[in-house]
Structure 1
Amino acid sequence: MDAKLPPVDELASFAARMSDLLLTHDDVGEAVRALTQVLIEAIPGSAGAGVSLMDARGQRTSTSATDPVVLEADQLQYDLRQGPCLTAWAQQTTILIDDTQSEKRWPAWIRGIAHLPLRSALSCPLSTPHGAIGALKIYSRNPGGFDSRTLRLAGLLARPGALMLANAQARDAAQHFRTGLVALKGHDALGTAMGILMVRRRCSREQAFAMLITISRERNQPLHQLAQEIVSGETTL
């Protein structure tokens, strides 16, 4: 069947929402959820939508989905290491399945989803100038659920979506790096503070650490903060 796309004014509204997403969603999880919501609203007749990205362990995973069926179909792709979403991601090309019952590609995955109410699927890569960072996918309960116009619309949404998610990933990575630096500095300060106490109190390393723990609890002060004050001379013990 031909999916009826939204009229021009609605497409303009979706474009405006995508622009807003680019500016307002710093967190990757929040950005992905927003993108899947736009997808489900923009593509009529879909059974569900989702986004696949790389997780912290380097594994491909569904970071957001609008329906449990999408998660099940996606997880089977990751387990089998085959499927339309992974192919779209790897080859950076749009993949269309008109009917899962006659599809010959990815035979293990097709057999695995035979019990699910999914008959057609559309997967688009989330491509950036530096390569694909993931893929978005939309499923339909009907064969022929997506036509050429739907493919073009999905591609139009995928491009700003990829930029939005890449920016969010970069911000997340920077925040994690800053958090790591703070933790590292706190660890270094703790070791230095323990050394200072060992000299001043002529005690062992274990005794110095126990002393810091006790004072931290008495003052209701974070241990790393106390250590930094000792190192800077703000606190003399």
Structure 2
Amino acid sequence: MAGSTDPQDYTSDIYDLMLAHQGVQEFLDAVVRLSATIMAPADVVSGITYRNGRRMVTLVSSVPEVDVLDELQYDAGDGPCLTALNTGTTAVVDDADVDQRWRGYLRSVADHGYLSMMGMPLPLRARNDGRGGGRSAGAASINFYGADRAVFTPERQRIAEAFAASAGAALSLIVKVNDTSEQNAHMVAATETRSAIDVAVGIIMAQNRCSQQEAFRILRSSSNNQNVKVHTLAQLILERASNPAPAVPHTENTAQNH
């Protein structure tokens, strides 16, 4: 129900999704698609970040480019979504070209064509079943990227907060009612995605004799060109690395030098 700031309105929408998609990944896919539409008519994409301990991963995104932008933020070590995770408060960037916070990261975001950002906590309810010590397994946030400046007005922030409150409550419930071992495997797999990306970057560094920053640039450029998620491409690189003639992405200049 885009445009409403009443959490109860979104509760109905979110729980309809929960009933239709009872697996965590299917539910998250549906939630992130809906989250990108609640800001209409603004051109907005979104993703959900999950943190377990010190590891962070984009669990799901509305477009593959969100994975790239989130990975850049994780590498930078700070930014709107990480601020939302660390403080439990919403962080908004109205103009990536002029905002003085997180300058290196925001320049990269602007280079990808996004000038507004918003990181918003996704509240997860604590587990009270005696297995989680009364605490949730981790923390999550919804990350929004807007193509125009000043997309995330106070009104749109209220809309997103209502949506996040309902989504967090539903996600907590769907995790609780699913088999615990299945959910643990899901979260372990999500955090291992980051390790796959790190290894893939190392492979690219070795093959191209380049820096870590340049290797990640090659990886995300190839991801954009092939329209696949960064972690999907990283896993493909790891699979190919076990073959006699591994194939990893090269830049045009690098290919000419070899």
Same fold (TM over 0.5): yes
Paired residues of 1:26 and 1:171 also in contact (CA < 8 A): no
Structure 1 equivalent of residue 46 of structure 2? 49
Structure 2 equivalent of residue 176 of structure 1? 182
Structure 2 equivalent of residue 30 of structure 1? 26
Distance 1:98 1:177 in 2: 36
Query: Equivalences for 1:1-237 in 2 at 5 Å?
Result: 6=2, 14-44=10-40, 45-54=42-51, 59-130=55-126, 133-172=139-178, 174-176=180-182
Tell me how far 1:11 sits from its aligned partner.
9.0
Letter in 2 for 1:164: A
Structure 1 equivalent of residue 226 of structure 2? none
Letter in 2 for 1:148: P
Q: Relative to structure 2, which stretch is displaced further, 61-70 or 130-139?
A: 130-139
Paired residues of 1:120 and 1:139 also in contact (CA < 8 A): yes
Distance 2:140 2:89 in 1: 11
Paired residues of 1:97 and 1:122 also in contact (CA < 8 A): yes
> Does the C-alpha gap of structure 1 residues 158 and 105 become closer, same or farther in structure 2, counting only changes over 3 Å?
same
> Does the C-alpha gap of structure 1 residues 22 and 177 become closer, same or farther in structure 2, counting only changes over 3 Å?
closer
Percent of aligned pairs with the same amino acid: 22
Task: Give the secondary-structure state (helix, strand or coil) at the position aligned to 1:152.
Answer: helix
> Does the C-alpha gap of structure 1 residues 71 and 21 become closer, same or farther in structure 2, counting only changes over 3 Å?
same
Q: Which structure 1 residue ranges, 5 or more long, are not aligned?
A: 180-237
Q: Could you report, residue by residue, the CA deviation over 1:54-75 in whole angstroms, capped at 9, with x for unpaired residues? A: 36x9621111111222111101
Task: Give the secondary-structure state (helix, strand or coil) at the position aligned to 1:72.
Answer: helix
> Does the C-alpha gap of structure 1 residues 87 and 170 become closer, same or farther in structure 2, counting only changes over 3 Å?
same
Tell me how far 1:169 sits from its aligned partner.
3.2
> Does the C-alpha gap of structure 1 residues 137 and 7 become closer, same or farther in structure 2, counting only changes over 3 Å?
closer
Q: Could you report, residue by residue, the CA deviation over 1:164-204 in whole angstroms, capped at 9, with x for unpaired residues? A: 2223333456143899xxxxxxxxxxxxxxxxxxxxxxxxx
TM-score (norm 2): 0.59
> Does the C-alpha gap of structure 1 residues 124 and 178 become closer, same or farther in structure 2, counting only changes over 3 Å?
closer
> Does the C-alpha gap of structure 1 residues 121 and 7 become closer, same or farther in structure 2, counting only changes over 3 Å?
closer
Q: Which structure 2 residue ranges, 5 or more long, are not aligned?
A: 127-135, 186-258
> Does the C-alpha gap of structure 1 residues 145 and 27 become closer, same or farther in structure 2, counting only changes over 3 Å?
same
> Does the C-alpha gap of structure 1 residues 47 and 63 become closer, same or farther in structure 2, counting only changes over 3 Å?
same
TM-score (norm 1): 0.64
Paired residues of 1:133 and 1:162 also in contact (CA < 8 A): no
Distance 1:128 1:177 in 2: 14
Runs of 4+ in 1 over 6 A off after TM superposition: 10-13
